[in-house]
C-alpha cells in the first residue's frame, strides 16, 4: 500500500538541474498513470524536507544536501544524469556519446577538416560528448582540438570578458574554415559572442553547433544557432517509466538506459560547406539535395562539370573515401534521422532516402551498423 493509504503513487520531482522539457516528459507520464507529482523543488529550488511518498525522480549533481536527502528517503529513485557515478542508483540518461557523434557527422558531411570542442564543464556527460565528437571526425581531421575552460568556484565580475578573450585567442589561431561544437546552447552562444567580438565571420569562417535546441537561446542571437536535439522530454518520460516499474517491485536494468538524440535543427550557424574546390562543393551540394532520388557518382560529376575520375580523386584526398561512400553516408544519416524521429515504416524510409528497395536498404544498413533498420529503431529507444 503506498504511503498515505491511497492507490495513487506520490512521486517527488527533485531535479538538481531544472529542465522544463524533462519536467514535461515526467508530467506526461504522471498524467497517464495517475501519479501525484510533487514539484515543490522545481518551483522553489528548495529540497522539501519532510516529504513522504513512493518514489523520486532526480538529477544528482554536486548538491550534497540533495544526495543526502535522496539517500535518506528510503524509496525507489531514478537519476536522470551520469554526473554522480559514485552513487549506485538506477539511471536513465541522454546518450551523450551519440550526441557528440551526431555533431561530428554533420560537420564531416560539410567537409570540415579543422574542429574544436568547447565546454566549461568537467563531468562525465561532457567527456562522453567530447569523445563521440572527436572519434567521429578523426578520419578527416587535420586539426581537432579540445577547448576546456573550467568554471571558477569564486566568480569574478569580469568572468564573461575573461572567457570571451580566452575564446577569441583560440578562434583566431585555429585554421579556417573551422567547426566548433559546444557542450550546450549557452556555450555555443559564448562561442558566437567571441566570434562577433573578434571579427570572425559565422558560419563562413567558423561554424557553430550547440545542444538542446533551446529556441530562447538559439533564435535570439545575431546568427541563429544550430543545435543537436537532445531528447529531454523523452528522457523524463523514460525515467518515469522506469520508476513506475521499480515502485511495483521490478528490478532495475544492469546498465543505464540511454536516450538517443533526435537529429539536428539546423540554422544559419552551420549553413556552410568547408570545401574550397568548387567542383567538390557542387557535387556535395548536389548529393545533399538529391539523395532521395536514384542518383550516383556519374550524376554528381556531370552536375559539377568535371570527369568522374578527377572528382573521385578529390573526394578520396579530402574525405578519405569514394563519392559512392559519401552518398551512402548521407543517405544512411538521413535514414537514421527518419527511423528515430518518425513512425514511418521501414519501406517508406528506404524510399525517401534513395534506396532502390527495402531489402537493399536493409542489407546496406545492416552492413554499416550491424543492425537491421527496425532493430536500430528499437535499440535506440524509439519503440520503448
For 65-76, write each residue's pLDDT tens digit: 999 999 999 999
Where a domain ends, among 241, 270, 299? Answer: 270
Mean pLDDT of the chain: 90
Task: Flag whether 236 is in a domain.
Answer: yes
The residue ranking higher by pLDDT, 107 or 159, is 107
Query: Are residues 220 and 287 both part of a single domain?
Result: no
pLDDT number for residue 155: 55
Task: Flag whether 330 is in a domain.
Answer: yes
Give the CA angle between residues 123, 128, 131 to the nearest 5°. Answer: 125
Q: By three-state DSSP, how is residue 8 classified?
A: coil
Task: Flag whether 159 is in a domain.
Answer: yes
Query: Are residues 225 and 103 both part of a single domain?
Result: yes
Which cell is 263 given? 537529429
> Per-residue pLDDT averaged across 115-131, rounded?
96
pLDDT in tens, 23-67: 999 999 999 999 999 998 888 888 888 899 999 999 998 889 999
Task: Flag whether 4 is in a domain.
Answer: no
Query: Are residues 211 and 104 both part of a single domain?
Result: yes
Query: Are residues 35 and 119 both part of a single domain?
Result: no
What are 226's strand-pairing partners?
209
Residue 200 structural domain: 96-230+264-270
How many domains, in total, are found in the chain?
3
> Per-residue pLDDT averaged across 278-283, rounded?
89
Task: Flag whether 203 is in a domain.
Answer: yes
pLDDT in tens, 291-350: 999 999 999 999 999 999 999 998 888 777 899 988 988 898 889 888 877 889 999 999
Task: Flag whether 1 is in a domain.
Answer: no
Query: Are residues 173 and 292 both part of a single domain?
Result: no
224, 225, 226, 228 alpha-carbon torsion, rounded to 10°: -140
Main-chain phi, psi angles of 342, to 5 degrees: -140, 170
Query: Are residues 71 and 162 both part of a single domain?
Result: no
**Residue 375 confidence (pLDDT) above 90:** no
Where a domain ends, among 244, 270, 296? Answer: 270
Instruction: Give the CATH number for residue 168.
Output: 3.40.50.2300
Query: Are residues 209 and 111 both part of a single domain?
Result: yes
pLDDT number for residue 213: 93
Task: Flag whether 2 is in a domain.
Answer: no
Rg of the chain's alpha carbons, rounded to an integer? 23
Instruction: Give the CATH number for residue 305.
Output: 1.10.10.60
Task: Flag whether 287 is in a domain.
Answer: yes
Amino acid at each position: 500500500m503506498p504511503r498515505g493509504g491511497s492507490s495513487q503513487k506520490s512521486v517527488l520531482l527533485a531535479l538538481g538541474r531544472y529542465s522544463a522539457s524533462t519536467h514535461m516528459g515526467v508530467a506526461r507520464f504522471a498524467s497517464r498513470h495517475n501519479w501525484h507529482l510533487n514539484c515543490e523543488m522545481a518551483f522553489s529550488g528548495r529540497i522539501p524536507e519532510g516529504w513522504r511518498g513512493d518514489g523520486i525522480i532526480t538529477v544528482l549533481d554536486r548538491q550534497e544536501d540533495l544526495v543526502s536527502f535522496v539517500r535518506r528517503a528510503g524509496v525507489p529513485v531514478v537519476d536522470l544524469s551520469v554526473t554522480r557515478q559514485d552513487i549506485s542508483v538506477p539511471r536513465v540518461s541522454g546518450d551523450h556519446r551519440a550526441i557528440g557523434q551526431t555533431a561530428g557527422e554533420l560537420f564531416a558531411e560539410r567537409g570540415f577538416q579543422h574542429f574544436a570542442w568547447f565546454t566549461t564543464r568537467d563531468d562525465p556527460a561532457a567527456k562522453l560528448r567530447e569523445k563521440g565528437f572527436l572519434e567521429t571526425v578523426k578520419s578527416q581531421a587535420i586539426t581537432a582540438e579540445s577547448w576546456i575552460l573550467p568554471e571558477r568556484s569564486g566568480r569574478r565580475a569580469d568572468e564573461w570578458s575573461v572567457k570571451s578573450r580566452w575564446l577569441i585567442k583560440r578562434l583566431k589561431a585555429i585554421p579556417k574554415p573551422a567547426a566548433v561544437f559546444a557542450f550546450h546552447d549557452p556555450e555555443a552562444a559564448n562561442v558566437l559572442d567571441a566570434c562577433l567580438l573578434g571579427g570572425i565571420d559565422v558560419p563562413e569562417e567558423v561554424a557553430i553547433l550547440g545542444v538542446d535546441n533551446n529556441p530562447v537561446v538559439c533564435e535570439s542571437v545575431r546568427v541563429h544557432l544550430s543545435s543537436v536535439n537532445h531528447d529531454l522530454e523523452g528522457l523524463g518520460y523514460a525515467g518515469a517509466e522506469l520508476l513506475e516499474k521499480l515502485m511495483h517491485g521490478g528490478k532495475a536494468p544492469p546498465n543505464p538506459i540511454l536516450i538517443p538524440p533526435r537529429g539536428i535543427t539546423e540554422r544559419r550557424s552551420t549553413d556552410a560547406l568547408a570545401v574550397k574546390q568548387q567542383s567538390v562543393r557542387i557535387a556535395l551540394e548536389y548529393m545533399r539535395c538529391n539523395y532521395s532520388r536514384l542518383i550516383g557518382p556519374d550524376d554528381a560529376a556531370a552536375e559539377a562539370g568535371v570527369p568522374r575520375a578527377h572528382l573521385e580523386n578529390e573526394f578520396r584526398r579530402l574525405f578519405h573515401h569514394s563519392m559512392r561512400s559519401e552518398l551512402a553516408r548521407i543517405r544512411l544519416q538521413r535514414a537514421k534521422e527518419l527511423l528515430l524521429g518518425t513512425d514511418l515504416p521501414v519501406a517508406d524510409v528506404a524510399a525517401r532516402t534513395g534506396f532502390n528497395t527495402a531489402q537493399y536498404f536493409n542489407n546496406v544498413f545492416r552492413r554499416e551498423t550491424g543492425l537491421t533498420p527496425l532493430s536500430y529503431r528499437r535499440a535506440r529507444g524509439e519503440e520503448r
